[in-house]
Amino acid sequence: MRILKVMSMMGMLVILFISLVARTGAQEVSGYTVITAVDLRKMQDSRKEMLLIDTLVESVYKRGHIPDAKNFEFPNGNMDPWNTSKTAGKSKDDFVALLGGDKEKPLAFYCVDEK
């Protein structure tokens, strides 16, 4: 996974959030299961169906992203109410359409922390 190698070389941290109901050894944060890049790779290698969402700005997404990831820009922190100026003009309906109707499918969100 080229993008993960590039990020690790640059000292960046990939943060992955996945909405799995039960996952042993995983850490729970705000009701969501947080997994590592290694966990994500194992899921991808097992061909587990999931929706992978890159939350970075589109220009960064276009430079490189995890294979099969979809782009949907999100700000860090809480966004209530929905603010299209922080989502590249995309609405909540656009987000719901991206998620699709299968509520059992795992969702993985990732971003980069350049600190």
pTM for the full predicted model = 0.69
| Token representation of residue 42 | 């194992």
DSSP for residue 86: G
10 burial class (0-12, 13-18, 19+ CB within 10 angstroms)?
exposed
Burial (CB count within 10 angstroms: exposed 0-12, middle 13-18, buried 19+), residue 102: exposed
pLDDT in tens, the chain (115 residues): 334 333 333 323 333 333 333 344 567 776 778 888 888 888 889 998 899 999 999 999 999 998 899 999 988 777 889 999 999 999 999 999 999 988 888 888 888 765 5
